[in-house]
Amino acid sequence: MSLADLRLFEMRRVAGLGPLCEIVAERAALGAPVTLLAGGTDWVVEQELRPPLEVAAGSPAAPLVVDVSRLPELRGISLSGDALRVGAATTYLEMLRSDAIAARAPLLARMARDVGAVQIQARGTLGGNLATASPAADGVAALAAYDATVVVQSVRGERRIPMSALQTGYKRTSRAPDEVIVAVEIALPAPGSPWYWRKIGARRAQAISKVALAGVAEVRSGRAARLGLGMASVAPTTALLPSVRALCMSRPLAELTAAEIDAAVAQDISPIDDVRSTRAYREHCACGVVRELLRQLGAPV
């Protein structure tokens, strides 16, 4: 469809989270489509690729789009001790410019710098990244590394979903049809803890990754006391690399070998050939970035 056909959508703006949840619940009960729009960096592109709509504007079947970009309950960055909360409608540019994130969650700032050009950074949001659930999503990989919790709200109340339970398949999540993503919450590692971000793409910016790895660690006496991982573009969902994580926390990092690390990576990913890359190249890069991260943590690989 052409963007001129946006007139076929019913567009609304709501005053608060309560009215928003009521609208979403009503539409969910009817089985009617509803899109919550903040930056629109994915959704607008999808409309260009979608077949023409066959419903009349204003009809009960007309898709509903609700602008949530200005809802105060979905915005803002707050830090309390070791707890960080980022609103779902907070943009990447806001994260990039946040002193709190720069000081305590630098991986998020570094990731945000690689999300497209400044125009995309100024519009794109973490909530949108989570809702779209693309296996190539930079923000989802970074949040997985922090073992973040996704806060959702509905007329039934608030619910918290661990990142490990969020994605259920390709572009599918465990969020119920009547739930709204409100924020993400992160229990931060100790100040100064090592972190890692590497995005491999066709060019430095404005490119979807061939492979991307986010990592957050706490190392004590040569052992990984905490290791969060998120890898993009190597599986139908963001890969959490559980075998790699278990291996690295099983014994001192100095005892790990390249062969067993590569074997653990291979067990955790299932890359494909597509227009952006090949399976073989993704496998090679995935092993390389995991080894690079572990070298920084003290593994001799």
Please tell me the predicted confidence (pLDDT) of residue 46: 75
Please tell me the predicted confidence (pLDDT) of residue 3: 55
Please tell me the predicted confidence (pLDDT) of residue 177: 94
Please tell me the predicted confidence (pLDDT) of residue 41: 81
Please tell me the predicted confidence (pLDDT) of residue 53: 57
Sequential pLDDT tens for the chain (301 residues): 555 566 677 889 999 999 999 999 999 999 887 999 998 888 777 776 666 555 444 445 567 999 999 999 999 999 999 999 999 999 999 999 999 999 999 999 999 999 988 888 999 999 999 999 999 999 999 999 999 999 999 999 999 999 999 999 999 999 999 999 999 999 999 999 999 999 998 876 667 899 999 999 999 999 999 999 999 999 999 999 999 999 999 999 999 999 999 999 999 999 999 999 999 999 999 999 999 999 999 999 9
Secondary structure of the chain as H, E, C letters:
CCHHHHHHCEEEECCCHHHHHHHHHHHHHHCCCEEEECCCCCHHHHHHHCCCCCCCCCCCCCCEEEECCCCHHHCCEEEECCEEEEECCCEHHHHHCCHHHHHHCHHHHHHHHCCCCHHHHHHCEHHHHHHHCCCCCHHHHHHHHCCCEEEEEECCEEEEEEHHHHEEECCEECCCCCCEEEEEEEECCCCCCCEEEEEECCCCCCCCCCEEEEEEEEEECCEEEEEEEEEECCCCCCECCHHHHHHHCCCCHHHCCHHHHHHHHHHHCCCCCCCCCCHHHHHHHHHHHHHHHHHHHCCCC
- Which residues neighbour 260 within 8 Å (Cβ) at sequence distance 6 or greater? 247
What does the alpha-carbon distance between residue 151 and residue 162 come to, in Å, rounded to a whole number? Answer: 9
**Which domains does the chain carry?**
3-67 (no CATH), 72-187 (3.30.465.10), 195-297 (3.30.390.50)
Q: Please tell me the pTM assigned to this model.
A: 0.92
Please tell me the predicted confidence (pLDDT) of residue 246: 97
Please tell me the predicted confidence (pLDDT) of residue 52: 59
AA identity, residue 140: V
Q: Residue 237 burial (CB < 10 Å; 0-12/13-18/19+)?
A: buried
